[in-house]
Chains A and B, each alone.
Chain A
Amino acid sequence: MARAADTSTTYMPRFLVAAAIVLLVARAVVWFNTMHDGKQQISSVRWTPVEEFKRSASLANGKLVLYKFCANWSDPCQRLESEVFINHKVSDLANADFLTVCVADRVREDGTNTPQIAELQKRYHVFAFPTLVIADANGDSKGVLVGCSSSLATYRFLARASQTESYVSAHK
């Protein structure tokens, strides 16, 4: 009865529909592969277990201590390693300017922590994991970052403490 000569007002761009289908399939495939491989991503930060850490090393090196309070069962802690410290800017800064110490909570596994861990948690008022604490050679807190923040926020947290310390050291 009537000729459909040109574009309908309710035209659906076919390329967009095709793109949506292709991208959804790609997303599913990549997600599956990532889940399969994800656990193998390890950051390049050299964490020293707290049991092996000696504060005298900080005094000798003039470096700040970066404590990472975490727990093996905590998802945010795993994300901190796989998403934040995997960023080489963050890991390079942490390795270069800090003595990096890992304080792993053992309450759920062993029922209690060692006195050293308990004392550190109490000293720095740690109530959640992960918590990053920057301390100087005397053990005084220079900065606290609670939770798994973004890479940039973590970098700025480390850089601010590191820059301040460099400034103070240079002007003694």
Chain B
Amino acid sequence: MNKGILKFTLLSACLDRIKLFYIVLLGFVVPIGMKVVTYMHGAEESQTFEMLTGKVGVAFILTGLCLGLAGGGSGSQTGKGGEYLPLILTRPVTRAQYIFTKWSTFTLVGGVLAAVQNLILALIGVAFGEVLSPYVVAGQMLERFLDAGIIAAALTLALVANHWLFQVCAITAFYVWMMAQTMPPVSVAGPSSAGVDAVALEGTHLMLTLSRLIGDLILPTISVYDATNAPHFPLLAVVSYVSTIVVYLVAAIAVINKREFFYGTSG
């Protein structure tokens, strides 16, 4: 890990006013507002709330931040935040160090913000009589760090792999996954339909199934609550999670090692 890259990536996250505003709004104001309103009216928490306080919320935070924190944007020599890679990479820093430090920083920033958000929401719940044990709250906060770790790894790879085909696949997979997060996994009731209704139902079913497959493949999750309360240790979830992160990091290092960073190249 390189301390310089860590320090100045963190500073970049803190000192950009537009990004801070985005994070405060989407990461804190909206979910906290939703929680308060839900409790005041005795309503059930919406799917949107579940999204913003879970993995999707972490993804929103990190995609907003990463656009300014990373180096080597797609098709460009510069990072989207102005980090000039041809200059950075002429310093005595290995590219693997650069990737690893960036991933760690994204994980730290995304994890801390989302964990703090979850903590605030848990405290608000206490004020309204919902008592969750500290154990459960700590588990949720840990989960946000785990979510940040895998989303950060995926984003790091996406930011350095600028081949158009990869970018198309990555963006498509991400949006398929995101779209289906807007609804809980359900099967629509009713008899077998025909015509347009059948196509619509099958389309929804396909999207949900595809989303689940893509999610399990590219963004596997570890539920800390399930891991600590299930009859068996969720080995598949843990192995999937760790293996995916490692594969993303290896791929990101391989890609950045291969890329040529100089004006006049397409790298």
Contact = CB atoms under 8 A, between A and B. Distances in A.
Direct contact between A and B judged by beta carbons closer than 8 A: yes
Interface of B: 44-45, 47, 50, 54, 89, 92-96, 129-132, 136, 140, 183-192, 209, 223, 225-226, 229-231, 235-236, 239-240, 242-243, 246-247, 249-250, 253-254, 257
A109 to B, nearest CB: 11
A145 B44 contact: yes
A23 B236 CA distance: 11
A16 B44 contact: no
Closest 8 CB pairs of A and B: A147-B184, A23-B243, A74-B187, A128-B186, A10-B257, A76-B185, A147-B186, A148-B185
A140 to B, nearest CB: 14
Contacts of B209: 75
A53 interface: no
Contacts of B246: 16, 19-20, 23
A126 B231 contact: no
Contacts of A150: 50, 54, 223, 225-226
B94 A10 contact: yes
14 contacts: A9-B92, A10-B94, A12-B96, A12-B250, A16-B253, A31-B236, A34-B236, A74-B187, A76-B184, A83-B226, A88-B230, A90-B229, A148-B185, A160-B130
A128 B208 CA distance: 14
B185 A79 contact: yes
The bracket for how many chain A residues form the interface is 35 or more
A26 B54 CA distance: 27
A115 interface: no
